[in-house]
């Protein structure tokens, strides 16, 4: 009642009030051609007076563009995803676009659904960050019928994908392993989630080693601190502990370091730990965690720019595939075995 009472003022009201036709008002709104400066300002003024706001639905119906894009991520609460959501929103806003937020819960069905039902989403394009990455996703993307940007979380992608792809620094795992080997660690362990979720990070582990000692690999349930804690318990229980742990992300790394400390294992003297993501907590943990920045904000910004460009130029049929260089930041949790360790607390 109270809200409905708010009389909706339409373009027609403005036209009548200003003594012009509705076509002219439309031109005034959209900075269109063929209107004199004089009448434009007059119209703009009466628009102000009447508090007229163009009906977005009607505009969209005519123009077939909604000025909205969708962002589908696994879980807005996790790791660097807030950074990504932020960067996407900023970039979109700069171009007059709104962002609708979708959490797929890293769930294959939900990921497919968002691409399959993209038409129901009421958006001009989609940025999707697939985690589960179901097999039929590429096919669905290819026939989506709407521009799509993919923020790729490590999986190897089909080259024929009809979408722009920006990768979250695909060589981050290699960087970690090289670093650990370079500082003289020989029994390097891996702590992550199921092998197939962020496969490349695990593959980098295998790739860097001549031979994988299965007992040095811990697969937890997720990327959480808890997984790190459990991994530390597990490694501690081994007859011969690792002298380094490559953690699938910072959360796990921090969980590890913390639990190791509780268990009396010295980090980095006895065990070095390196994570991935380079989130702000790495500098807070004690010892501070070495980590690899996978350039989340930059990736997100670029993915957005590419999407918006494709929306503008629907005709192009060359698809970008971009990778950012990951950056290793060495902190306290990984030091060379050659250098004398700091005195233990």
Enumerate binding residues for DNA (CB under 7 A).
8, 10-12, 19-27, 29-30, 32, 34-40, 52-55, 58-59, 61-63
- Specify the DSSP element, H or E, that contains 218: strand 217-219
Burial of 42 (C-beta count, 10 Å sphere; 0-12/13-18/19+) = middle
Asked if residues 50 and 21 have their Cβ atoms less than 8 Å apart, the reply is no
CB of 277: closest distance to a second copy in angstroms? 13
CB of 20: closest distance to a second copy in angstroms? 22
> Which residue lies nearer to a second copy by CB, 122 or 240?
122
- 328 bridge partner residues: 292
Burial of 226 (C-beta count, 10 Å sphere; 0-12/13-18/19+) = middle
**124 interacts with, out of a second copy, DNA, none, CB within 5 to 8 A per kind:** none
The residue range among 38-46, 239-247, 300-308, 309-317 that interacts with a second copy, by the rule CB under 8 A, is: 309-317
CB of 11: closest distance to a second copy in angstroms? 13
Q: Which residues contact 326 (CB under 8 A, 6 or more apart)?
A: 169, 170, 171, 172, 175, 292, 293, 294, 295
> Which residue lies nearer to a second copy by CB, 81 or 183?
81
> Which residue lies nearer to DNA by CB, 122 or 240?
122
Residues 193-222 interacting with a second copy (rule: CB under 8 A): none
Q: Should residue 335 be labelled a site residue for a second copy when binding is judged by CB under 8 A?
A: no
Structure tokens at 8: 């909706």
**34 interacts with, out of a second copy, DNA, none, CB within 5 to 8 A per kind:** DNA
Asked if residues 195 and 248 have their Cβ atoms less than 8 Å apart, the reply is no
CB atoms within 10 A of CB 84: 24
Taking the mean position of all CA atoms in its chain, how far away is CA 333? 26
CB atoms within 10 A of CB 330: 14
- 247 bridge partner residues: 191
CB of 56: closest distance to a second copy in angstroms? 4
Rule CB under 8 A: which residues touch a second copy? 1-4, 6, 53-58, 60-61, 66, 68, 71, 75-77, 81-83, 85-86, 89-90, 98-103, 117, 119-122, 145-147, 224-225, 254-255, 258, 261, 280-281, 283-286, 314-315, 317, 345
């Amino acid at each position: 009642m109270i809200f409905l009472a708010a009389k909706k003022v339409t373009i027609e009201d403005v036209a009548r009030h200003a003594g012009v036709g509705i076509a002219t008002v439309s031109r005034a709104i959209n900075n269109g051609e063929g209107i004199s400066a004089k009448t434009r300002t007059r119209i703009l003024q009466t628009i102000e007076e009447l508090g007229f706001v163009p009906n977005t639905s009607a505009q969209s119906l005519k123009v077939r563009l909604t000025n909205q894009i969708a962002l589908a991520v696994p879980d807005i609460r996790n790791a660097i995803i807030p950074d990504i959501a932020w960067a996407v929103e900023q970039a979109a806003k700069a171009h007059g676009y709104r962002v609708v937020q979708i959490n797929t819960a890293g769930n294959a069905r939900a990921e497919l659904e968002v691409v399959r039902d993209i038409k129901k989403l009421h958006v001009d394009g989609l940025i999707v960050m697939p985690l589960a990455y179901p097999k039929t996703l590429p096919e669905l993307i290819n026939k989506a019928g709407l521009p799509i940007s993919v923020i790729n979380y490590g999986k190897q992608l089909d080259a024929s994908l009809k979408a722009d792809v920006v990768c979250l620094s695909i060589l981050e795992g290699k960087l970690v392993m090289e670093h650990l080997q370079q500082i003289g660690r020989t029994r390097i362990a891996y702590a992550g989630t199921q092998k197939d979720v962020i496969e490349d990070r695990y593959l980098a582990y295998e790739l860097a080693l001549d031979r994988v000692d299965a007992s040095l690999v811990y697969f937890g349930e997720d990327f959480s601190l808890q997984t790190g804690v459990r991994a530390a318990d597990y490694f501690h229980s081994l007859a011969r502990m690792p002298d380094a742990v490559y953690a699938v992300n910072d959360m796990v790394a921090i969980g590890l370091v913390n639990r190791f400390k509780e268990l009396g294992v010295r980090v980095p003297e006895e065990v070095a730990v390196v994570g991935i993501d380079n989130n702000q907590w790495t500098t807070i943990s004690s010892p501070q965690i070495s980590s690899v920045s996978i350039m989340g904000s930059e990736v997100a910004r670029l993915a957005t720019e590419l999407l918006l460009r494709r929306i503008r130029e629907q005709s192009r049929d060359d698809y970008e595939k971009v990778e950012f260089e990951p950056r290793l930041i060495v902190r306290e949790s990984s030091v060379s075995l050659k250098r004398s360790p700091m005195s233990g607390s």
